[in-house]
Amino acid sequence: MVAVKMLSWNVFSEELFLDEITCLKRVKHKNIVRLLGYCAYTFGEVMEVNGENKVVETVHKFLCFEYVPNGNLHHYLKGIKFAILSLPMCIYLVVSAIHSPEHKRCG
C-alpha cells in the first residue's frame, strides 16, 4: 500500500522540485516515511484571460510515500494538548538531525 499526496503549489521550478525529490529519496530513518516515487503531468484547459480565450497549463504533482497505518502526524499531534521537551532532549534532537548522513548529503 502507498499514500499519495497531491501537491497544491506550483511555486517551485522543475529543477528545485527534482532536487527536493532527490533528497527525499535519500532519507532513510525509522521515524520518517520513505518516498517511493513521484508523478508530474501537465493539464491544459481553455480559459478566458483578459477577455481572450487562452490555453492555460497547470502542472499537477504527486508524491508517493510508503503507507503507515494509524493516521497521519497532523491528527496525532492535534490530539496532544501540550508537550514539553526537556532541554537535553531538544539538544539531542537537533544534534542528531544535524549529524545525520541525510542532512550532510541534502544540505
On the question of pLDDT at 83 being above 60, the answer is no
Rounded to whole angstroms, how far apart are CA atoms 12 and 18?
10
- Using the Cα atoms of residue 97, residue 33, residue 105 and residue 14 in order, give the sign of their dihedral: negative
The residue whose grid cell reads 484547459 is: 45
Please, how many CA atoms are within 13 Å of residue 52, restricted to the half-sphere of its CB?
A: 4
Mean residue pLDDT across the chain: 76
Judged by DSSP in three states, 92 sits in helix
Name the H helices within 38-85. 73-78
Question: pTM (2 decimals)?
Answer: 0.54
The residue whose grid cell reads 504533482 is: 61
pLDDT, position 11: 64
What band does 43 get if pLDDT is binned at 50, 70 and 90?
confident
Judged by DSSP in three states, 95 sits in helix
Contact 61, 7 (CB under 8 A): yes
The residue whose grid cell reads 508524491 is: 63
The structural domains of the chain, with segments of one domain joined by +, span 2-106
What band does 100 get if pLDDT is binned at 50, 70 and 90?
low
Cα–Cα distance list, 5 to 36, 73, 79, 104 (Å): 12, 14, 22, 26
* Domain covering 2-106, topology: Phosphorylase Kinase; domain 1 (3.30.200)
